[in-house]
């Protein structure tokens, strides 16, 4: 039986303590934000709230959910994240499957791969990108936020290397049974590659949910802004934008802002633990090339 050495145990203890301190340091600001959003207006304005709410109430959340602009932006972000993630998984996984084959199966494969890699090194630029979206008639369209970043080359390479580690015998067995490449991709590669798929899904979801700059460029009008872009305008213009006069007079800007920020962060906080168990495995295996 393998026995861990004393230096290893000491390192393990200090490593766990270090990671725990880092984790607490990351969570405390968010926890403080939650406590501020659940506190009384006067206590929040006076800076008395630390890690426990003062005069507990949920008025800030009630007022936030009554804000039509905020709820519209939340729905836009949900649509963008769901549709964008689904399309990205389909496109990137299909591209990775094709590029994982050698030149005997996919002639010209190396040329296509270098074409993808070049796009990682050189960007089209802000103005040409805007002109392209304008000429395509996608301004104020949800797909203006999805299509420009649909193919993420880093994700394609991650999946490509993962697909290369799938045993060839499995694919050959499906070909013997009369299946083609598409059936092999659906029946063999996708089920085996769930850790990599989940990792790519997490990357894509976080990217779409947190992106704000493209919304400010391509979307006109508050009703078309995704939540991250709407939050940016609130921070610049004041977080009471979109609230009626009664709310402006009765609520603290600090509590309203805290509630809005916490709500905007909550979906990722919910999704991440569900996909986290796939994350490390997907990164490690996908990053190793034969």
Determine which of 38-42, 213-217, 279-283 has the lowest per-residue pLDDT on average.
Answer: 279-283
What rounded mean pLDDT belongs to the chain?
A: 82
**Residue 52 CB contacts under 8 Å (≥ 6 apart), including other chains:** 35
pTM: 0.80
Task: Report how far apart, in Å, the C-alpha atoms of 12 and of each of 144, 155, 172, 193, 237 are.
Answer: 48, 32, 44, 31, 48
pLDDT band at 286 (very low <50, low <70, confident <90, very high): very low
Residues 271 and 205: beta-carbon distance below 8 Å: yes
Nearest CA-CA partner of 59 in 223, 246, 269, 222:
246
- Let me know if 286 is exposed, middle or buried by CB neighbors in 10 A (0-12, 13-18, 19+): buried
Quote the CA–CA distance of 231 and 239 in Å, as a whole number: 8
Query: Which tens digits make up the pLDDT trace of 133-154?
Result: 999 888 899 999 999 888 888 8
H or E element in which residue 107 lies: none
pLDDT score, position 252: 66
pLDDT over 50 at 241, yes or no? yes
How far does CA 59 lie from the centroid of its chain? 29
Residues 242 and 67: beta-carbon distance below 8 Å: yes
H or E element in which residue 39 lies: none
pLDDT band at 17 (very low <50, low <70, confident <90, very high): very high
Nearest CA-CA partner of 114 in 153, 155, 159:
153
pLDDT band at 245 (very low <50, low <70, confident <90, very high): very low
CB-facing half-sphere around the CA of 261: CA atoms within 13 A: 20
Determine which of 21-30, 93-102, 148-157, 172-181 has the lowest per-residue pLDDT on average.
Answer: 172-181
Q: Return the top range by mean pLDDT from 87-96, 156-165, 231-240.
A: 87-96
Query: Which tens digits make up the pLDDT trace of 37-76?
Result: 888 877 777 778 888 888 888 888 888 888 888 889 999 9
pLDDT band at 117 (very low <50, low <70, confident <90, very high): confident
pLDDT score, position 80: 93
Quote the CA–CA distance of 33 and 59 in Å, as a whole number: 15
């Amino acid at each position: 039986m393998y026995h861990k050495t004393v230096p290893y145990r000491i390192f393990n203890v200090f490593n766990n303590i270090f990671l725990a301190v880092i984790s607490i340091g990351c969570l405390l600001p968010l926890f403080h934000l939650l406590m501020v959003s659940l506190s009384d207006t006067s206590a929040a304005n006076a800076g008395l709230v630390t890690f426990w709410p003062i005069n507990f109430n949920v008025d800030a959340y009630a007022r936030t959910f009554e804000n039509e602009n905020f709820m519209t932006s939340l729905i836009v972000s949900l649509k963008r994240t769901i549709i964008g993630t689904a399309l990205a998984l389909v496109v990137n996984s299909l591209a990775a499957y094709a590029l994982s084959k050698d030149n005997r199966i996919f002639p010209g494969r190396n040329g296509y791969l270098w074409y993808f890699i070049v796009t990682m090194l050189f960007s089209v630029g802000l103005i040409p990108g805007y002109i392209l979206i304008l000429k395509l008639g996608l301004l104020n369209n949800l797909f203006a936020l999805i299509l420009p970043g649909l193919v993420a080359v880093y994700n394609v390479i991650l999946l490509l290397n993962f697909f290369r580690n799938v045993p060839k015998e499995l694919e050959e067995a499906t070909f013997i049974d009369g299946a083609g490449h598409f059936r092999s991709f659906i029946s063999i590669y996708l089920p085996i590659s769930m850790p990599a798929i989940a990792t790519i899904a997490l990357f894509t979801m976080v990217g779409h949910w947190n992106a704000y700059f493209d919304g400010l460029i391509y979307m006109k009008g508050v009703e078309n802004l995704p939540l991250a872009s709407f939050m940016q305008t609130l921070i610049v213009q004041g977080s009471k934008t979109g609230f009626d006069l009664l709310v402006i007079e009765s609520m603290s800007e600090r509590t309203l802002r805290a509630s809005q920020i916490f709500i905007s962060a909550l979906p990722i906080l919910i999704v991440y633990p569900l996909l986290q168990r796939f994350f490390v495995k997907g990164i490690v295996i996908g990053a190793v090339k034969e």
